[in-house]
Amino acid sequence: MKPITLVHFAELFLKGKNRDWFVQKLVRNINRTCGGRVVKRHSYLLLEKGKPENLKYVPGISWWAKAFRAERNLEEIKKVCAQILKKQKPQSFKLEVNRADKTFPYSSYEIVKRIGELLEKETKIEVDLKNPELIIFIDIQKEDLLVFSEKIKGLGGLPVSTSGKGLLLFSGGIDSPVAGHLMQRRGMHIDLVHFHVFTKAEKLKETKIFELAKTLAKFQAKIRLYAVPYYLFQMKALEFESNELVLFRRFMLKTAEELAKKSGAKALITGDSLGQVASQTIENLQATDSAVKTIVLRPLIGLDKEQIVKIAKEIGTYEPSIKPYKDCCSIITKKAKTRSNLKKLEEIEEKIEIEKLIEETLKLVEEIEVR
């Protein structure tokens, strides 16, 4: 009884004439992440061999299951079910049948009744329709008859690279990796831009930044990290302490926008959550966004810290995120204004020659490919 992995799409069912394109992207992502061979069916996929445990890193999947093929008759279906019961040894079970192939000669009720009675007699394990310890699913399709006992929840959403490319402002805190991951689950391929304190970007490989980048890369195979030194900005902005944080965020967005043009990214992504800190008031977010023409996506905007932490723990970024690290935002002044004056900010930017500053900073950017 050789297993095969049954994979069900998430919201790809909602797609119309371009559904095949989405499915093909999902197949490619599964191949890249799990290896093996993917067989396409109309409403599901089959993964032969490979590493099905890696499906947990593939957005676009509703659920998957370790399944077994059965011949298209009741006796053979019963044999497969009996082997599952003997291996798992539950106290009780029930059968659930999906009879998608209506040409199969028995109704779902007849299959459940006949096979259930035979299994109960053979295995001495009782049928419990209300509260079974184990559910065995019998999926009867035109091309396959599959039997399985556990549905493993997938990430849902859309396959990576079906929603274009975005550039994530990546601080190394709890929020930004979660923001990036949520956009991956919406089908966006992300790259990272990190503003750092080192003289050489190579130093980042010794920090949690590289560790977090590798974690996010699991969901799309590889990721590009743009390492941007920020000391030129810091030297210019020291005298404008109370405005420094919002100035810095505008500088980051402007710099990221130039990198986005270079990389083909159509959106900037941040880990902002409304009202969480002084720079994330609606007034300061508005002042920040006005610095760029590129759309700024904020997938965490309506989430509280507890919700964000929960996701971080689920995807494996929480522990690295709380490791000590001297990031730029922690060095920038703590006396941030909650309501910045846009005209004042623009006057300061003119005084420090922000465009020239960005141009000089871009010359110092280093790119790191993370797999």
Task: Tell me which residue range forms the domain holding 181.
Answer: 165-370
* pLDDT above 90 (res 339): no
* pLDDT above 80 (res 326): no
* pLDDT above 80 (res 65): yes
Res 107: pLDDT? 97
The alpha carbon of residue 74 and the mean position of all alpha carbons in its chain are separated, in whole angstroms, by: 41
> Which residues make beta-bridge pairs with 199?
none
Cβ–Cβ < 8 Å for 273, 306: no
Mark which of 116, 131, 153 sits at the end of a domain.
153
> Which residues make beta-bridge pairs with 168?
192, 269
Cβ–Cβ < 8 Å for 261, 359: no
Cβ–Cβ < 8 Å for 96, 115: no
Q: State pLDDT tens for residues 261-273.
A: 999 999 999 999 9
Place 294 in a pLDDT band, splitting at 50, 70 and 90.
Answer: very high
Helix (H) or strand (E) holding 135: strand 134-140
On whether both 224 and 304 belong to a single domain, the answer is yes
* pLDDT above 60 (res 227): yes
Res 330: pLDDT? 56
* pLDDT above 90 (res 327): no
On whether both 240 and 117 belong to a single domain, the answer is no
* Unique residue bearing structure tokens 């974690």: 215
**284: closest CA among 347, 334, 341, 355?**
341
On whether both 266 and 135 belong to a single domain, the answer is no
The one-letter amino acid code at 35 reads G
Q: Is 308 exposed, middle or buried (0-12, 13-18, 19+ CB in 10 A)?
A: buried
On whether both 192 and 146 belong to a single domain, the answer is no
On whether both 83 and 201 belong to a single domain, the answer is no
pTM for this predicted structure: 0.92
Q: Which two tokens stand for residue 333?
A: 């002044």
* pLDDT above 60 (res 192): yes
Q: Is residue 160 part of a domain?
A: no
Res 276: pLDDT? 85
Mean pLDDT of 55-83: 97
Res 50: pLDDT? 96
* pLDDT above 80 (res 254): yes
Mean pLDDT of 216-241: 88
On whether both 135 and 182 belong to a single domain, the answer is no
On whether both 69 and 30 belong to a single domain, the answer is yes
* Range name among 137-141, 229-233, 251-255 with the lowest pLDDT average: 229-233
Res 200: pLDDT? 85
Mean pLDDT of 361-369: 96
What average pLDDT is seen over the chain? Answer: 93
Res 217: pLDDT? 97
Q: Is 226 exposed, middle or buried (0-12, 13-18, 19+ CB in 10 A)?
A: buried
* Structural domain count of the chain: 2
CA dist., res. 66 & res. 56, Å (int): 14
Q: State pLDDT tens for residues 133-164.
A: 999 999 999 999 999 999 999 999 999 999 99
SS3 letters across 288-344: HHCCCCCEEECCCCCCCHHHHHHHHHHHCCHHHHCCCCCCHHHHCCCCCCCCCCHHH
Cβ–Cβ < 8 Å for 139, 98: yes
Res 237: pLDDT? 77
Mark which of 128, 153, 178 sits at the end of a domain.
153
Q: What is the CATH number of the domain that holds 216?
A: 3.40.50.620
Q: Is residue 158 part of a domain?
A: no
Q: What is the CATH number of the domain that holds 115?
A: 3.30.2130.30
Cβ–Cβ < 8 Å for 172, 325: yes
SS3 letters across 328-370: HHHHCCCCCCCCCCHHHHHHHHHHCCHHHHHHHHHCCCEEEEE
Res 155: pLDDT? 97
Q: Is residue 18 part of a domain?
A: yes
Positive/negative CA dihedral, 156, 161, 164, 170: positive
Cβ–Cβ < 8 Å for 175, 273: yes
On whether both 194 and 128 belong to a single domain, the answer is no
Contacts of 191 (CB under 8 A, 6+ apart): 165, 166, 167, 168, 223, 224, 225, 226, 263, 265
Q: Is residue 51 part of a domain?
A: yes
* pLDDT above 60 (res 332): no
**Torsion angles phi and psi, residue 60, rounded to 5:** 105, -5
On whether both 34 and 178 belong to a single domain, the answer is no
Mark which of 95, 124, 153 sits at the end of a domain.
153
Q: Is residue 260 part of a domain?
A: yes
More confident residue, 334 or 80: 80
On whether both 115 and 190 belong to a single domain, the answer is no
Other Cβ atoms within 10 Å of 316 Cβ, number: 17
> Which residues make beta-bridge pairs with 15?
none
Cβ–Cβ < 8 Å for 48, 39: yes
On whether both 66 and 181 belong to a single domain, the answer is no
Place 243 in a pLDDT band, splitting at 50, 70 and 90.
Answer: low
CA dist., res. 49 & res. 51, Å (int): 7
Q: Which two tokens stand for residue 339?
A: 């309501």
* DSSP 8-state class, residue 116: H
* DSSP 8-state class, residue 143: S
Q: Is residue 202 part of a domain?
A: yes
CA dist., res. 176 & res. 180, Å (int): 6
* pLDDT above 80 (res 333): no
Q: Is residue 283 part of a domain?
A: yes
Res 331: pLDDT? 52
On whether both 135 and 231 belong to a single domain, the answer is no
Q: Is residue 159 part of a domain?
A: no
CA dist., res. 101 & res. 293, Å (int): 52
* pLDDT above 90 (res 31): yes
